[in-house]
Amino acid sequence: MAEKFDNLEEHLEKFIENIRQLGIIVSDFQPSSQTGLNQKLNYMISGLQDIEKCRQQLHEINVPLEVFEYIDQGRNPQLYTKECLERALARNEQVKGKIDTMTKFKSLLISELSKVFPEEMVNYKAIHGEDAPS
């Protein structure tokens, strides 16, 4: 997968350089530079075709729109990944806390039910085994 990205990056760099050179030719255009201009235009067309081929190889890549928003805001897109991980860790802690609370509640509920309904809880513990703490 990495070489697909490297290939795309290489084609983009060549394309950008070609566009830069094309801009230089156009900004100081002389009739004698028509051949060079035509050649750069042809390179630009073939460069776009190469980029299109690379795009087809990378069609399965999905980039969250938020990453583009980070870039538009002048922020580092790697911050998006960092912040997503931080949010996931915070959410994981919340869920872990809820699981711990529910586990304690279950244990307390079984304990209290065992006091009020001892015979039924013996049956429950027989059916559920270890799931029913004493």
The pLDDT tens digits of the residues spanning 100-111 come to 999 999 999 999
Instruction: Provide the pLDDT confidence category of residue 1 given band limits of 50, 70 and 90.
Output: low
pLDDT score of 113 more than 90: yes
Same domain, 47 and 89: no
Domain membership of residue 74 (yes or no) is no
Contacts of 66 (CB under 8 A, 6+ apart): 80
Q: Please check whether residues 55 and 1 belong to one and the same domain.
A: yes
Q: Which domain holds residue 36?
A: 1-61
Its pTM surpasses 0.75: no
Q: CB–CB of 25/34 below 8 Å? A: no
Mean residue pLDDT across the chain: 89
pLDDT band of 58, cuts 50, 70, 90: confident
Helix (H, G, I), strand (E, B) or coil at 47: helix
Q: Are residues 88 and 56 in the same domain?
A: no
What residue has token string 């059916």?
A: 127
How many separate domains does the chain show? Answer: 2
Q: Are the beta carbons of 84 and 44 closer than 8 angstroms?
A: no
Confidence of residue 130 (pLDDT cuts 50, 70, 90): low
Is the confidence at residue 46, as pLDDT, over 90? Answer: yes
2, 5, 84 from 9: Cα distances, Å = 10, 6, 26
Q: How confident is the model at residue 133 (pLDDT cuts 50, 70, 90)?
A: low
CA distance linking residue 124 with residue 83, whole number of Å: 45
Domain boundary residue, one of 33, 61, 89:
61
